[in-house]
């Protein structure tokens, strides 16, 4: 990756006190071209969310700071960009092989 940057599929999310509340994960879904956004935490377990808006609203209700929610949005944007780029590269390779 450029600049030695390593992308990972999940990141920790902290509450207003700085305690780790849970983790957010973005991964390819079973259905080609789709993504799963998952919130894991001790209280509610693992939840799949339909959109970034839904995730941010959930984090707001869990007392995650505005700054931390911005970090989550940046993570989601980068991760989704990375996954989209890989889909494009793989589909191009498959077209060339055909």
**What residue ranges do the domains of the chain occupy?**
9-97
Query: Which residues, including other chains, have CB under 8 Å from residue 80's CB and lie 6 or more apart?
Result: 26, 35
**pLDDT at 57 (0 to 100):** 93
Q: What is the pLDDT of residue 27?
A: 84
- This model's pTM is above 0.85: no
pLDDT in the model for residue 31? 81
Give the Cα separation of 79 and 62 in Å (integer). 23
Q: What is the pLDDT of residue 5?
A: 54
Look up residue 53 and give its two tokens: 């808006």
CB distance 58 to 49 below 8 Å: yes
The Cα 90–Cα 79 span in angstroms is 17
Mean pLDDT (10-residue bins), the chain, 98 residues = 61 89 87 84 87 92 92 92 78 68
Query: Strands of 10-14's sheet, edge to edge?
Result: 10-14, 20-28, 35-41, 45-49
């Amino acid at each position: 990756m450029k600049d030695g940057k390593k992308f990972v599929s999940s990141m920790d999310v902290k509450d207003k006190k700085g305690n780790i509340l849970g983790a957010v994960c973005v991964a390819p879904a079973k259905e080609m071209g789709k993504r799963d956004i998952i919130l894991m935490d001790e209280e509610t377990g693992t939840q799949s969310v339909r959109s970034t808006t839904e995730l941010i609203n959930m984090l707001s209700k869990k007392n995650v700071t505005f700054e931390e929610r911005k970090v989550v949005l940046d993570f989601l944007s980068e991760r989704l960009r990375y996954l989209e780029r890989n889909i494009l590269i793989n589909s191009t390779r498959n077209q060339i092989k055909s």
